[in-house]
Structure 1
Amino acid sequence: MFNQIENKIPVTLITGYLGSGKTTFMNELLKLQSNKKVAIVVNDMGEINVDSSLIKNNSLAKYPNMELISMQNGCICCTLREKFMDQIIELSHKDIDAILVEASGISDPVSIAEAFLAYEETEKEIPVYLDSVITVVDADRIYAEFLDELNDYVDSDKDKTETDETETDEEENDPDIINLIMDQIEFCSLILLNKCDLLTKEQLREVKEVVKIIQPEAKIIETEYARVDFENIVSHIPYDYDRIRDSSLINKTLFKNNHNEEWIDGVHEEYGISSFVYTKRQPFSYDKFMKFLEDDYPETLIRAKGYIWFADDDIHTQLFEQAGRNASVTEISNWVAALPTKDREEAMANYPEILEDWDETYGDRINQIVFIGKGYSKEEITEKLNQCLETYKNTK
């Protein structure tokens, strides 16, 4: 593994939602070391790169070995992706030891990692490699928005502790934000569990257990004010995209379900948290499913994610996600079965695995959701979802 990265520059990606402590982490990291030649790329969605200015004002004058690149008016996981990779390659030709990338708070680490994979596929040899994907996690927020309410619901005897509210009312009511936080945890190789000083030892233990269950492969470092040594964040081992992608509890549960495998280690059930997959070919009624989410969704569920479809729309694949108190349904693509004949045949030729689970009536259309929770009733949830099903009338 080490031979593959000889003479290449490690790139460390730092993600984490607004307020988690990413910029504080970058500043503290530079204070703790001054002998490394580091290039920093800071991405901000706005016209003014506030994070870049904070790092520059606090650190750049003190550390002449540091070079700072600001990327704004877009996100490096989508609109600035190509420009981002070009910038990384340009930096690699300079005399530096490492590249640190602070992604915007709304960046999807999956897409950024895929940018490296895509670049490697088109270029025979590139002078950099993705070393680590770090997610800075606000431990206080995880406890407040997941565990505190969940523990109350299952009659936990642990004391509640008041926590600082860092998010606005608008943030709190936006389901995409909480789902993004979970996505960032599920797709990282290192978790900086920040603001640990705001929780009791017991609360912190619970947060670590849940985070480890969601992404068991990621190393967890507890921090206060995001302080961590440079040597602890650069692994010098290439980021294993497939291993990390497949190691989250969501994907592990789905894989074992699709391969009819039983849980072997049962680690995730040690703390009373378990998972299961709901699978039905039959479509949901849109109105019934939404009513279920709004009026009857179990508070014992921590996380859910999967693809679904509705009886009045057999064309579009919908992504259902839930994290804590928030849930969303988003149209993301078309079912292969809904494509024109020529496009469908081309898709099957390029991706023959589609045919492995093809249904004569429904094609590739399916409701398949992974649920993760504590103290829930699988039978009750399954029954409620079954009540949302509707007969499919294929008009084609």
Structure 2
Amino acid sequence: MPPANTATTRIPATVVTGFLGSGKTTLINHILHKEHGKKIAVIVNEFGEISIDGQLIVKEDQAELVEFNNGCLCCTVRGDLIETLQRLQERTGDLAGILIETTGLADPAPVASTFFVADEVKNHIQLDAFVTLVDAVNINANLDQSTEAVEQVAFSDIILVNKIDLVDAKQLKTVEARIRALNPLARIHFTKNSEIDIGKVIGVGAFDLVQKLEVDPAFLDDHEHEHDDDVGSFVLEESRPIDLNRFSIWLNTIAQERGQDLYRTKGIFHARGFPQRIVFQSVRMLTTMRQDRPWTDDEPRASQFVVIGKNLDRDEFEHGFKQCIAS
């Protein structure tokens, strides 16, 4: 029998986690933009019916993109992850690494155990590190309201405290202390727009199975992760142009009324007066809107708006979104 691949020949895999809107896709794009000359496969998992983040990832010759929608890698589509990793392992020697972006509601442990309990994976792919992004603005609310946010911080090997430009030094110290209380061993880096030297997150060999088993002896056991049934997502689509002023006023009103339940919204809009796609993102009360690339002649101009939150009424949002259609 031939010997199993050693750690030096296995493809390193980096799992990028973090609660909704923490900056995971921005980090992926930052890594892909770097002139490192390495071929990297990117696996994106979204909590929703369509992939907005997948559309925003830069399509580079050095990257291969695989998307999983409407399911979570830690439970319902875990088999798909194994199948994809099997396909990628055939490219040992060609691929320099695999980046896996989980949904913001993923439990990291079942994802990590895939690399050790699945025979189809463990001999050819090495789990290099769990990198968790933390939103410095909303981390306290996220940790208070979400078990997944706590699990992501506690399980991580490397933590990027992101959006540091939006908080003051006192807030940042409070954030760091709370993170250290949950995870005293992780390496912490402070970032703006998820910008970091890729050598600090890729190929670092930070994942330590022995350490994880000391913290959680049942880590490798086969267990299912259950999401909060009150948390859900839906997508609103519209082919007619959207009036961005109406949209901003409408969503600001909802955020004022339902801010604690409205976790994350994001979308690509066909907006009146703009030849470019308009990318919109919000995390609780923090919103951004920017011009993206121009619409191409061979793609339909349409808006896709994803809403993620707790106890949200789709009909209410659908009615409000239709009021934002340009006259």
Band the TM-score falls in, shorter-chain normalisation: 0.5 to 0.7
CA deviation digits over 1:332-379, x for unaligned, max 9? xxxxxxxxxxxxxxxxxxxxxxxxxxxxxxxxxxxxxxxxxxxxxxxx
Shift of 1:214: 1.0
Distance 1:16 1:180 in 2: 9
- 2:83 corresponds to 1:86: yes
CA distance in 2, matches of 1:118, 1:112: 11
Between the aligned residues of both structures, percent identity stands at 33
**Cα gap change, 1:125 to 1:105, in 2 (>3 Å):** closer
2-structure distance, mates of 1:132, 1:224? 21
* Residue in structure 2 matched with residue 172 of structure 1 by the alignment: none
Give the equivalent residue in structure 2 for 1:330: none
Q: For 2:121 and 2:17, how far apart are their aligned partners in 1?
A: 28
Q: In the alignment, is the contact (CA less than 8 A) between 1:188 and 1:244 conserved in 2? A: no
Tell me the residue number matched to 2:96. 97
Structure 2: segments with no counterpart, 5+ residues? 218-259, 261-327
Kept after mapping to 2: 8 A contact 1:189/1:244: no
Matches of 2:32 and 2:45 in 1, distance apart? 18
1:110 alignment counterpart: 109
C-alpha contact 2:85 2:121 (8 A) present in aligned 1: no
Which of residues 198, 201, 205 is equivalent to 1:237?
205
Give the direction of change, closer, same or farther, for the CA distance of 1:38–1:139 in structure 2 (3 Å limit). same
Q: Which residue of 1 aligns with 2:131?
A: 134
- Cα distance in 1 for partners of 2:86, 2:201 equals 21
> How much has 1:25 moved relative to structure 2?
1.3
In 2, Cα distance between equivalents of 1:214 and 1:138: 16
Shift, 1:89, TM fit: 2.1
Match of 1:193 in 2: 161
> Which secondary structure does the structure 2 equivalent of 1:134 belong to?
strand
Residues 1:67 and 2:64 aligned together: yes
In the aligned structure 2, how far is the partner of 1:145 from the partner of 1:12? Answer: 23
Partner of 2:54: 52
Q: Distance in 2 between matches of 1:36 and 1:80?
A: 28
SS in 2 for 1:29: helix
Structure 2 counterpart of 1:38, one-letter code: I
Q: How much has 1:143 moved relative to structure 2? A: 4.7
Residue pair 1:43, 1:70 contacting (<8 A) in 2 also: yes
Residue type of the partner of 1:197? D
Change (3 A) 1:185 1:125: closer
| Higher CA-based Rg | 1
Distance 1:124 1:130, change over 3 A: closer
1:236 to partner: Cα distance: 4.2
Structure 1 residue ranges, 4+ long, deviating more than 6 angstroms after superposition: none
State the 1:145 CA deviation.
Answer: 6.6
Residues 213 and 33 of structure 1: is their aligned pair in 2 closer, same or farther, counting only changes over 3 Å? Answer: farther
Name the CA distance, whole Å, in 1 between partners of 2:31 and 2:122.
Answer: 30
Counterpart Cα distance in 1 of 2:176 and 2:33? 27
Report the AA paired with residue 49 of structure 1. S
Q: What are structure 1's unaligned runs of at least 5 residues?
A: 147-174, 253-324, 326-396
Residue matched to 2:256: none
**1:38 Cα deviation after fit:** 0.6
CA distance in 2, matches of 1:236, 1:27: 19
Aligned positions, number: 213
By how many angstroms is 1:183 displaced?
0.9
Aligned residue for 2:137, secondary structure, equals helix
Equivalent position to 2:25, from 20, 23, 26: 23
Change (3 A) 1:125 1:41: closer
CA distance in 1, matches of 2:133, 2:213: 18
Code of the residue aligned with 2:168 in structure 1: it is T
Q: In the alignment, which of 43, 51, 74 is matched to residue 45 of structure 2?
A: 43
SS in structure 2 at match of 1:47: coil
Pairs within 5 Å for 1:1-396? 4-55=6-57, 59-60=58-59, 63-94=60-91, 95-119=94-118, 122=119, 126-143=123-140, 177-237=145-205, 239-244=207-212, 246-247=214-215
* Contact 2:116-2:122 within 8 A present in 1 as well: no
Equivalent residue for 2:226? none
TM-score (norm 1): 0.50
- 1:180-232 Cα distance to aligned partner (Å, 9 max, x none): 11111001111011011111112212211221221011100100011112211
Partner-residue secondary structure (3-state), 1:68: strand
